[in-house]
Copies of this chain bind each other. A is one copy, B any other.
Amino acid sequence: MNANTWSLDTMLSPQSIAMIGASDNLSTSAGKCYANLKRDFPGRLYPVNPRRPTVQGDRAYEDVESLPESVDLLIVMVQASLVPAVVERAVAAGHRSALVLSSGFSEAGAAGAALQEQLTGLAFEHDLPILGPNCIGFMSSVQHVMANFSLLPTAERPRAGSVAIISQSGGFGSFILARAVSGGLGIGYFVSTGNEATITVADLLGYMVEQPEIRVITLFSEAIRDPERFLAAADRALELDKVIISVTPSITDAVARAVMSHTATMVGSREAYDAVCRQRGILRANSIAEMVDFAAILQGGKRLRGRRIGVITPSGGAGVLMSGAADDCGLEVPELPAGRQEEIGKLIPAFGSAKNPVDTTAGFAVGFPELYEGVMQGMLDEEIIDGIVPLCWYGDSPEAEVLVRLQAASSKPIAPVITHDGQTLVHRMPVYGDPTSAVRAMAAVAEVSERPALRRRHTGTDPDQVAAARALLAPAIDHRFVLESTAKDVLALYGVPTAAEHVARDADEAVEAAAKLGGAVVLKVLSYDLPHKSDAGGVVLDVRGAAAVRAAYEQLCQAMARKSVPMEGILVQQMAQVSLELAVGMYRDPTFGPMVSAGLGGRLIELTADAVLVPAPLDLEDAGPAVARIAGGRISHATRGLNPSGMRAAAEVMVAVGRLAVDLPEVESVDINPLLPTETGLVAVDALFTLTSAPSAR
């Protein structure tokens, strides 16, 4: 049985609720929570309190057994040590879900952790959804359930709307909710998961995505505990064109990364999470403030057709600032066509500007809001404009009313900046107090609008190919590192072109191999103990002629003998003409599994540290755009970059390495470096695999 199979509907959309520990004292959390329930819930509500005949005017019940019905939701707020017994009795009495608000569980040392384990056990044993413990509850505007003490019963109920807020942290969740309300978000649901004895943020993500009222889900969580359910929810969000905004903080260095590949040392867990979000269409916010800013405009559900925005301000200075901010986040502020400039120019004073940013000048349209509406409407009608960021001085002005009306009427997103008294408008349209924040929110809409449709990434595993790869890897299986020649054989099997080369067991074979290859060659030691050959004197470059090949062969043998490095042979390769050096790699993130990287390669890879990252499995639709981001996006147009066929070949290598990673979990990491563009295409010139099954890693 899996937590996934629980229907959270019973808990979050209950018809009947009972609260154990309900109190008359409104200064306590229990009193606040019951008062919140009472003021909003239209269903049947029962307080359980053995010491009182009534609670807040409602008839109180002695215990879970004496309630007049089995309830959908039982809220528990009694001393931690009593909770498991209460839950057990609740199950016996047929109650169908439990929200445990009490604290004193895994956050409170070993005794608390034991209590929590009891709770988890009960939940799984009886198939009972339990939210918490140590959380502050939840709120559903849809079902009018205010099962929390986060809001004061005297405070206004948050405006209902299309945003679901999920926070693992309880106290901090209250802060997020408060910010969301003051930022003008319409709240459909708010849920804190606390210690997650059973139900996790990923479970809730999966639930919220399916709710028809919900368009935007914000997520704050210290960690993603169940990546598979998390990814499944993200996929559904993409499928339904809903938006998940994550402020999951940077995962710190304390997360030990045991991977030894060069790639892995360059990319941290934060990068892996970013790569997952990018691939799955999850929007990342850098702060709670930014999360609220993004949700404010996205809750309306509008999308951008492109990245071209119109800026309308009564101040040239603001226009310059906003154009600069637009440029910084990849939005364009295109000059308006002549005809449109003429149209808008007729409305504004001659010393304004109708180019875009449109500068209406400071006193414009005072007393004549129809002029302001004309300018806005002209911009909205303009074909080359996808969205508008207008700046308006006052929230209680006729101009602001024009903005409210037009944003409701137009399909183009509008992110208004109101510099003074914007709070008066915040529940009627998205409002930004800072020009830069408004522009960034518009860029977030652009990012969401550009998400590709959901697709399944087929790994296309061929059992024969996997078996063949395992046969190739068999001799290496007791080692940490795979021989270069073996690694390349496996890569070749997966369709990655590799350099022409031969393994020589003696000098004669080396001479013969060099003759077959022709031209200058490279000799490299093959040894399980020499993963980084160049640094260890295990490579001789640019060898020409039989005598030189023989000499190089002997030189390498002697060098290895001196170091007592056991050799499996010498690899003889054609000397490559180097122009651009790339690298493609793979490592395994502890949470999200195999990550495929690509970037500038060569001996300076630690310095260039240029890696784009895509989680595997991946397909060409993932890899193509990733390759295009190599070298800060300059790869496709710099003088010494890649041509279109090279770009495609690099993407194919990424996909191949991703397939390999999915097929062969025993390969812990892959480093192809360099991957060189040649006349016949990209070629893997060097490759290193590490194995998880190596004795040192076991």
Contacts and interface: CB of A to CB of B under 8 A. Distances in A.
Interface string A202-226: 0000000000000000001010000
A607 B640 contact: yes
A435 interface: yes
Contact of A317 (B220, B420, B437): B220
A580 B609 contact: no
A170 B362 CA distance: 9
A676 to B, nearest CB: 13
A478 B631 CA distance: 38
Interface in A626-671: 631-632, 634-635, 638-641
Given A324-B249, A350-B109, A351-B108, A171 B317 contact: yes
B362 A606 contact: no
Interface in A145-188: 167-175, 178-179
Contacts of A168: 317
A361 B610 CA distance: 41
Count of identical protomers in the assembly: 2
A249 B325 contact: yes
A350 B109 CA distance: 8
A680 interface: no
Contacts of A104: 351
A579 B603 contact: yes
B641 A607 contact: yes
A315 interface: yes
Contacts of A247: 321
Q: How large, as a class, is the contact surface on chain A?
A: 35 or more
Given A323-B252, A324-B249, A606-B640, A317 B167 contact: yes
A436 B220 CA distance: 14
Nearest to A362: B171
B631 A317 contact: no
Interface string A335-352: 000000000000001110
A612 to B, nearest CB: 13
A325 B252 contact: no
Interface stretch (A15-23, A285-293, A461-469, A511-519): A285-293
Interface in A554-611: 579-580, 600, 603-604, 606-610
A288 B434 contact: yes
Contacts of A321: 172, 220, 247, 249, 288
A178 B419 contact: yes
Contacts of A232: none
A383 interface: no
B393 A289 contact: no
Contacts of A320: 222, 249
A112 interface: yes
A326 B328 CA distance: 23
Nearest to A249: B324
A250 interface: yes
B107 A222 contact: no
A316 interface: yes
Contacts of A382: none
- The 5 A-B residue pairs whose C-beta atoms are closest, nearest first, are A169-B317, A250-B324, A287-B436, A249-B324, A108-B351
Interface of A: 104, 107-109, 112, 167-175, 178-179, 220, 222, 247, 249-253, 286-290, 314-318, 320-321, 323-325, 327-328, 349-351, 361-362, 393, 419-420, 433-437, 535, 579-580, 600, 603-604, 606-610, 631-632, 634-635, 638-641
Given A169-B315, A172-B315, A287-B434, 18 more contacts: A108-B349, A109-B350, A112-B351, A169-B316, A170-B362, A171-B314, A174-B393, A174-B419, A220-B321, A288-B435, A289-B433, A289-B437, A580-B607, A607-B631, A607-B638, A608-B608, A609-B631, A609-B634
